[in-house]
Structure formats: structure tokens, C-alpha cells
Amino acid sequence: MTQRKRALLTGITGQDGSYLSEFLLEKGYEIHGIMRRTSTFNTDRIDHIYEDPHSSDARLFLHYGDLTDGTTLRRILEEVCPQEIYNLGAQSHVRVSFDSPEYTVDSVGMGTLRLLEALRDYQQRTGEEVRFYQAGSSEMFGLVQEVPQKENTPFYPRSPYACAKVYAHWQTINYRESYNLFACNGILFNHESPRRGETFVTRKVTRAVARIVAGKQKKLYLGNLDARRDWGYAKDYVRAMWLMLQQSEPEDYVVATGETHSIREFLDIAFTRVNLNWQDYVEIDPRYFRPAEVELLLGDPTKAKTKLNWEPSVTFKQLVELMVDADLEAIGQPCQNGNGGPLDHAMIRANMTSFVS
């Protein structure tokens, strides 16, 4: 009987970790995820696929660990003996990285190095190949040196987070070249979903739209509305991660849609979905400005399309609308994707009034 493949994921409780776990389970993998111990449950995104580990059918296992704790990472690697590692764990919020630069760099930069070191020793000792995926970011392009950005576009990081991702990127290449590791960098542009963290701008907007409709929120405070991002759908992007590790040679890939849109365009589609005008609700709060901003990101996914045969399946408008609909549904409001007609403007106003009173 052929043994099923085992994958080890850091960041399994995050947006991408949850989608990648679903994807790998469908492919027949056994999944081992590293999660942080927290005082309240942090497994919402994976609860639906979690099975009692005592069950003989269980294929998803969780291990307590932290990217800042190299001993534990090493121990888990030795225990699990995976064929593939996906390093998705990170303090991934760019604005927060300005407030907590040391911790961000420790988890993102040093965390990757700790994993690579553990992997290098493991592979040397056992002779078993373990394929490694590093979750790189378009933030590394920062003050962009070329439009659109490709695999060989020079980096110009503009935050502690992006500097740490650049460090992790080059360490991954360095370990590939020095120790013959099968290690790939995915340079992923922004990807979103209903599982996106609530403080990233897309989810902040779609969640606010639903709360405004439900009368639970009156205003939405945002920062720079002129920034442009290449936004795709997270489910598509985890497929690209897996594809990278199935190739004959380890290489680095840009994963993007090849379209860029401003926050204003995102707002337009999100509020129009519920027949509202965003200008009536959005206010600027300078505390959401960043000490250094990344104004424009636009990726060139040609290499991923040709070599991985990867394509995004969701358009920008579909992405915004599916996120709005999911947040409406979560808050118990009728959404646009069912058989109901457009939302009733009067009902929204009524809800607002009841909130105010």
C-alpha cells in the first residue's frame, strides 16, 4: 500500500493555511499544522475540517509551536517526517509591523531561517527530500522599480514586514543553492476571501458594508484610498503554492492576476452591491496611514501561467461581491447571490435609525 503524503504547515489557522489544508485534504494528504497556544480558541477557520485525532480516519493533526521557538519546530519536524513544508506563519499585517518591528522580523525572517536550518539537518541526517514553500510577498517590491513586477524585478521593501520577507526570500534561495534543498519562493500578490483577517482593508470594507446594512455601524474609517493592489482570490493562490512543489525543479514564481485596482474602486463595488454610496459612510483617519506606503502593486503572472499552468478563476468584481455577500450572510442579512432582489434601501435606513435610537 502506498503511504499518503504528509504536509507540515506553519500558519494553519490563518486564511491561506485553512484553504491550503482543505486543498491538500482533497488531494489525499495527511496534514500537520503548527498553531500557537492562545488563551481563547484560534481555530475558527479550520474547525470544519478538524477531526478527533483519536479517530482512525483522522488526517489533520495540530501541534503547538511558534516560529520564534526553534527547538519546537525541530522537534515537530522530526516527529512528523513530512514530504512537503509550507511556511505560511507570519505576523502578516504591514501596518502592525511598524508598531512591532522586532517581533515581526523574528517571526517572519528568523522564523524562516529556523525552519530552514531544521530542514537542512533533517534532510542531511535522513537522506529524505522535503520540499519547502516560502510564503513570499509582493510587499517586497515596495517602491516599485518596474511595472508590472516579475520574478526578477528588484525589491525595495518599505516596512519591517517587507524587509523580513526579503530576508526570508534570499535565505530560501541561499539554502536551495548551498544545501541542494527543494525550496521555492512564491511571490504572492494580495489575495483575499471571506476568511481574510478583519483588519486588512478588503475585509474591513466588506464587513463594514454588512454591519452598516444591519444598522450596527455608522461610519467606516480608513487610511490611504489611493493605494492600488493586485487583488486575487485566496483559494486560487493556495493551488499555486502546491503546484510549485510538484515541479521537477525548485524555482520562484510571481502569483498575481495582472490587474490593479484602487481602494476607491473596491469601495465602489462593495457599497454598490447593497445600493449604497460609499462617500456617505467613509471617513479618513490618519492613524491608518503608514510611515512609508506601497502605492502601486501590479504583478506579471506569465511564468506561473506558462510553467505551472495556473490561472486565477475569480475576477476582481466577483471577489468583492463574494466577500460582501459572505459578510451579509454572516450577519444574517439577505445577500445578492440568492434569489432575493437588490437590498432595500429603505430597510437599511430603518436599521440605521434603530441603531441610532
Applying CB under 6 A, the span of 188-196, 305-313, 322-330, 347-355 interacting with ligand NAP comes to: 188-196
Site residues (CB under 6 A) for ligand NAP, limited to 270-329: none
Residue 214, SS3?
coil
Member of 199, 277, 279, 318 binding ligand G4F (CB under 6 A): 199
Catalytic residue among 137, 138, 159, 193: 137
Binding mask 120-149 for ligand NAP (x = CB under 6 A): ---------------x-x------------
Secondary structure (3-state) at 169: helix
Map residue 185 onto helix, strand or coil: strand
- Residue number, 69 or 344, with CB nearest to ligand NAP: 69
Any catalytic annotation for residue 79? no
| Minimum CB–partner distance for residue 222 and ligand G4F (Å) | 4
Annotation says 137 is catalytic: yes
Q: How far apart are CA 274 and CA 290, in angstroms?
A: 30
Residue 75 binds to ligand NAP (criterion: CB under 6 A): no
Strand boundaries in the chain, DSSP class E: 6-10, 30-35, 60-64, 84-87, 131-137, 183-188, 191-192, 220-222, 228-229, 232-233, 253-255, 261-262, 282-284
At residue 133, what are phi and psi to the nearest 5 degrees? -110, 125
**How are the residues of the chain apportioned to helix, strand and coil, as percentages rounded to the nearest 5?**
45, 15, 40
Among 16, 22, 252, 327, binds ligand NAP (CB under 6 A): 16
Judged by beta carbon distances under 5 to 8 A according to partner kind, the member of ligand NAP, ligand G4F, none in contact with residue 135 is: ligand NAP
190 counts as binding ligand G4F under rule CB under 6 A: yes
- Listed residue (30, 40, 36, 29) closest to 14, CA to CA: 36
* β-pairing verdict for 30-35 and 60-64: parallel
* Residues between 204 and 263 with contacts to ligand G4F, criterion CB under 6 A: 204, 222-224, 227, 229, 263
Which residues of this protein are in contact with ligand G4F, per CB under 6 A? 92, 94-95, 137-139, 189-190, 199-202, 204, 222-224, 227, 229, 263, 288, 290, 293-294, 297
Catalytic residues: 137, 139, 161
